[in-house]
Structure 1
Amino acid sequence: MLDMTPILTAVRQAATLTRRVQAEYLERSDKAGREPVTIADYGSQAILLRAISQIFPDDAVLAEEQGQQFMTLVGDEQRATVVQLVGEALGESVSEAELVNWLDHGRGLAADRTWAIDPIDGTKGFLARRRYSIAAALLIDGQPVAGILGSPGYPTGDGAGLLFYAQGSAAYVEPMGGGKAYRIAISGRSQPRDLKVVESVERDHAHLEKMAQVYAQAGIKQTNVEGVDSQDKYAMIACGDADLYLRLPREANPQHRIWDHAPGTALIQAAGGVVTDIDGSPLNFASGMIMVGTQGMVVSNGHAHDQIIDTIQAVLKGT
């Protein structure tokens, strides 16, 4: 069985860094296509891939950030800050060259085992000081078999956030700051009027208008719909805090990225839930970075999943 402990430790170290950046060093850069990136993205990814390079050196990696991008987009002073913050989070001296090597570890490898990494899932939420996730999934032969979601902003009494993870057929949650692990499972809510729904905050992420039509036709109360950033939506369904997440595409050929959905999918499946495309077919995690052919996502506790799929298809067909 996969020993998750070193990866969980790395996620906690990454969360220490991201919290500090969000509080003290919050500044945005833009990648190609105007996608936002922060120094926390680079620092978090370096910490996660350092752990993977040490424990699973032969595994392939699909990760959002790149070493060359770090060297060209980030100024000298900011790069030095990232090196310093990573070193402080790890408790050891780190060089810029080491950090760049970690950022690119496993890229381009061909292997049966692949890690999908999103160092800050929900960068826009992070920049707005809302919720975000630190996400990692292990895929074997194109299927997610383990997933981790570090959720520093998940509402808790102590404000420390939560750490969710799936291993085999079980899903767990621990306090981000450390403590006892508890097994989690999806809710038993089955009637559409009772379902708690989560959806993207950003309007460009999904067709919110079509989704509102689905809610209305299915009998879901609009007052039960909450906007939530990042893969925290998956975590909420896995632990029973929510029941349904829809992502209907705004365009004909959406470019969904594997690291945005594989970690959450592993968690949902281990917690007893269901994840499919909007027509009920499986998501495609076997085509590399882009989930080729995948139109959207229906993530649920499973109890009304088929009904929701039927309603989506009726709305899309205009019936």
Structure 2
Amino acid sequence: MDSPYRPELEAAIGAVQTAAHISRVALATAQKDAAAGSFDVVKDDLSPVTVADFAIQALLARVLHGAFPHDGFVGEESADELRQSPALLSRVLATIAECAGASLFRDADDLCAAIDSCTTASNSARTWVFDPIDGTKTFIRGEQYAINVALLEDGEQILSVVGCPLLSADATAPIFDASVDPTGAGCMLFAVRGHGAYVRPLLVETAEVQPRRLPRHADNVTSPDGLRSVTCWALLDSGVDTVHKAVAEQLGVPFPGCDLLGWVPRWAVMALGLANMTVWVYKTRDRHAKIWDHAGAMLLFEEVGGIVTDVHGKPIDLASGRKLEVNFGFVAAPKAVHHLVLRTVLDTLKVQGRDELLS
């Protein structure tokens, strides 16, 4: 891809390649030795944290800060749990040393500082956003997960690199959490705003692999007949499943279609053309999305002709902080029919008596 962001893209692709290796090593080690404590830590939101989460965030922060020292960084993890668990901290250091070299971090304090560099507010106009493992619960089960890296400039998505170690670049719909690439290659998707979205195998022996440009398939959808859904059906208690299902039924869209726990894998399958519509309405107005689940990954879908707004039709404001507090929920669909999907969402909320979610 020729673009003004070639250095950033190459650095991010290399980092995600290494991050994917870390994720596989961490998972294999934990599965082989369940007593190692790899999955013992639980965050305050009750999602499990793994060696891979910490190791990958540390890697991404160190590598990209080294290449672009004046940029800001936002990541999901804090090093607090590591400082409280010497065994876990030791395992993270050992995993990084095995996969990326022992010289990447001077010591444990250096590693923790790298992780925490992604938790403080940045005044930089350019900010990298990381989700080291999106879909941690499915990752633990050896199912679909993703590594998400985004570059924002003044709050606008500029660059996206997403690694999906278990998703085939040639997958066919529908895709579920248990749909694992039989070749073991996985895929990497990347995009630069205005320069298209691409896919390539993730785990390859040579750096010379040629990426495939993804067609702007969403441009071809001009009526609800062409809509295909991706959602997370009956697995998360944050959304209103009855609304999601009713919207699909009103539009005549088979439901659930692709069914994935992680948000980044959902955006990935939309970029690949395995789906082209998603709707998410939270159960309460005070629930908001987290930036690392969507920044950059949404750009993949936009670069194939998709439109992404919230439930009220507002653009997603990625400058609002770690939580997207300006927006409520998501409506994503091809440009020509987005307004129809949005109207159906609003009508369904009214019919179901969920007026409190419309205010």
- TM-score of the two chains, using structure 2 as the length reference: 0.83
> More strand per residue: 1 or 2?
1
Report which stretch shifted further, 136-145 or 188-197: 188-197
Distance in 2 between residues matched to 1:250 and 1:128, nearest whole Å: 27
Distance in 1 between residues matched to 2:189 and 2:237, nearest whole Å: 27
Structure 2: runs of 5+ lacking an equivalent: 31-37, 169-180, 353-359
Over residues 101-151 of structure 1, what are the superposed CA-to-partner deviations in whole Å (9 max), with x where a residue is unaligned?
Answer: 221235333111111111111112212221111011111111111111111
Match in the other structure for 1:273 = 306
Q: Aligned to 1:29, what secondary structure does the other structure show?
A: coil
Q: Give the CA deviation at 1:194.
A: 4.0
Instruction: Check 1:182–1:28 CA distance in 2 against 1; reply closer, same or farther (3 A cut).
Output: farther
Instruction: Check 1:177–1:33 CA distance in 2 against 1; reply closer, same or farther (3 A cut).
Output: closer
Over residues 219-264 of structure 1, what are the superposed CA-to-partner deviations in whole Å (9 max), with x where a residue is unaligned?
Answer: 1122x62211321111111121211111111112212111111121
Match in the other structure for 1:195 = 227
Instruction: Check 1:287–1:78 CA distance in 2 against 1; reply closer, same or farther (3 A cut).
Output: same
**RMSD between superposed Cα atoms in Å:** 1.8
Distance in 1 between residues matched to 2:238 and 2:29, nearest whole Å: 28
Match in the other structure for 1:99 = 111
Distance in 1 between residues matched to 2:182 and 2:140, nearest whole Å: 23
Q: Is 2:86 aligned against 1:76? A: yes
Q: Aligned to 1:30, what secondary structure does the other structure show?
A: coil
Distance in 2 between residues matched to 1:152 and 1:120, nearest whole Å: 11
Q: Is 2:21 aligned against 1:16? A: yes
| 1:162-241 → structure 2 map (5 Å cutoff) | 162-169=187-194, 170-178=196-204, 179-187=209-217, 188-201=220-233, 202-222=235-255, 225-230=257-262, 231-241=264-274
Contact 1:148 1:263 (8 Å CA) reproduced: yes
Distance in 2 between residues matched to 1:185 and 1:241, nearest whole Å: 12
Match in the other structure for 1:314 = 347
Q: Aligned to 2:283, what secondary structure does the other structure show?
A: coil
Letter in 2 for 1:177: L
Equivalent residues, number = 316
Q: Give the CA deviation at 1:295.
A: 0.7
Q: Aligned to 1:79, what secondary structure does the other structure show?
A: helix
Percent of pairs with identical residues: 28
Over residues 39-75 of structure 1, what are the superposed CA-to-partner deviations in whole Å (9 max), with x where a residue is unaligned?
Answer: 1100111111111110111111111111233212xx2
Q: Aligned to 1:8, what secondary structure does the other structure show?
A: helix
Distance in 1 between residues matched to 2:140 and 2:216, nearest whole Å: 30
Structure 1: runs of 5+ lacking an equivalent: none
Match in the other structure for 1:52 = 64
